[in-house]
């Protein structure tokens, strides 16, 4: 891709996430431009906004892309639909040789978390963005695990009920399962657990995330270095803020000493340190309201992932 030419991007899904992603591509991306938006509802607000902005659209799902000349040269497809629909969309992208960035919890491809493992993703043709809770918390688990082994990590993601659309509500089980697996495989925890809470408060609350990491005492090691963990967490938060400005610590990292506490997920007693990190994520307001930080972090992470993979692939060709 020439330095002065952006690669085309297709967004599948004309709901809140897809529409916000379109705005971010247009306003923020130096490597991508909107090629087309795909929906299934001709009257959707997302398709209407895309048309007004001069973006090619189809309301015939991915089958409608074949008739759009803009699709031919597109490099990336973002799937902002549902886990159930993603398998078909992934097969479509593969047939046409397009990079697929999956914003659903389908998890057919490897998990991608920009600040943790993005440079390993250039070989994949379908990468999964885990979940909003995963994007918010896995960097913190990885930061703690970088200082000392994490035996168990539990995350609790609390989001405004209004920011949970039909796709999110239909995929709650996939959310918890996908996030739990990624806490382990990407975050580095021995065992991971994820909980999501849809908060019906009015006015809506900003996304809050709590991360608990259990670091076990180990032979030959002094007790956990609290200062090193706090620095690692703060450094990681700053790195996430580079692409999600509304991501922040709510208070200083907390440390509690536990001795002989039974942890059901481990199936045994635990002695060591519980590290607690409290986060807040507010949206940038490109399309979604500020309280919808759960959606904003997904679109921001997806955009960063696509841009970096294209950069890595271009570097490999040079």
Nearest alpha-carbon partner for 291 in 278, 299, 281? 281
Find out whether 16 is annotated in a ligand binding site: yes
Using the structure block, give the residue that is written with the tokens 């015939």. Answer: 60
Q: Which two tokens stand for residue 242?
A: 């580079």
**Is 166 labelled as part of a ligand binding site?**
yes
Q: 299, 20 in Cβ contact below 8 A?
A: yes
User: How is 16-59 classified by DSSP, letter by letter?
Assistant: HHHHHHHHHHHHH-SSEEEEEEE-S-TT-HHHHHHHHTT-EEES
Question: Is position 190 annotated in a ligand binding site?
Answer: no
The response to whether 169 counts as a known ligand-binding position is yes
Those residues with Cβ within 8 angstroms of residue 181's Cβ, 6 or more apart along the chain or in another chain: 107, 111, 192
Q: Is 170 annotated as a binding residue?
A: yes
246 is in an annotated binding site: no
The annotation status of 164 as a binding-site residue, yes or no, is: yes
Catalytic residue among 25, 65, 116, 132: 132
The dihedral of CA 249, 115, 186, 164: what is its sign? positive
128 marked ligand binding residue: no
For strand 207-216 and strand 268-281, is the pairing parallel, antiparallel, or unpaired?
antiparallel
Does 213 participate in catalysis according to the annotation? no
17 is in an annotated binding site: yes
Residue 157 near residue 135 (C-beta atoms within 8 A): no
Contact between 294 and 132 under an 8 Å Cβ cutoff? The reply is: yes
The reply, when asked if residue 126 is annotated as ligand binding, is no
Number of C-beta neighbours around residue 145 at 10 A: 21
Nearest to 110 by CA among 140, 94, 130, 85: 130
Q: Which residues are annotated as a binding site?
A: 14-17, 163-171, 294
Active site residues: 132
Q: Which residues are annotated as a binding site for NAD(+)?
A: 14-17, 163-171, 294
């Amino acid at each position: 891709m020439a330095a002065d030419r952006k690669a085309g991007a297709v967004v599948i899904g004309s709901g809140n996430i897809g529409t916000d992603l379109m705005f971010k591509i247009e306003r923020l991306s130096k490597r991508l431009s909107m090629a087309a938006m795909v929906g299934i509802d001709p009257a959707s607000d997302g398709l209407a906004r895309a048309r007004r902005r001069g973006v090619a659209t189809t309301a015939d799902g991915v089958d409608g892309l074949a008739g759009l000349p803009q699709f031919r040269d597109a490099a990336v497809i973002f799937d902002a639909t549902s886990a159930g629909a993603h398998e078909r969309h992934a097969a479509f992208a593969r047939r046409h040789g397009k990079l697929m960035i999956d914003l659903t919890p389908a998890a057919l491809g490897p998990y991608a978390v920009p600040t943790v493992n993005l440079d390993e993703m250039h070989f994949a043709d379908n990468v999964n963005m885990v979940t909003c809770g995963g994007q918010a918390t896995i960097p913190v688990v990885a930061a703690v695990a970088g200082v000392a082994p994490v035996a168990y990590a539990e995350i609790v993601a609390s989001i405004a009920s209004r920011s949970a659309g039909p796709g999110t509500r239909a995929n709650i089980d996939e959310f918890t399962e996908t996030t739990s697996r990624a806490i382990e495989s990407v975050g580095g925890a021995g065992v991971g657990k994820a909980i999501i809470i849809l908060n019906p408060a009015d006015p809506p609350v900003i996304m809050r995330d709590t991360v608990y990491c259990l670091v076990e005492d180990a032979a030959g090691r002094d007790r956990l270095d609290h200062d090193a963990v706090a620095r690692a967490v703060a450094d990681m938060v700053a790195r996430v803020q580079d692409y999600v400005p509304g991501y922040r610590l709510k208070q200083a990292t907390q440390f509690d000493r536990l001795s002989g506490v039974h942890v059901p997920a481990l199936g045994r007693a635990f002695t060591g340190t519980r590290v607690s990190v409290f986060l807040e994520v507010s949206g940038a307001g490109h399309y979604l309201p500020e309280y919808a930080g759960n959606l904003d972090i997904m679109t921001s992470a997806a955009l960063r992932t696509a841009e970096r993979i294209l950069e890595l692939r271009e570097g490999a060709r040079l």
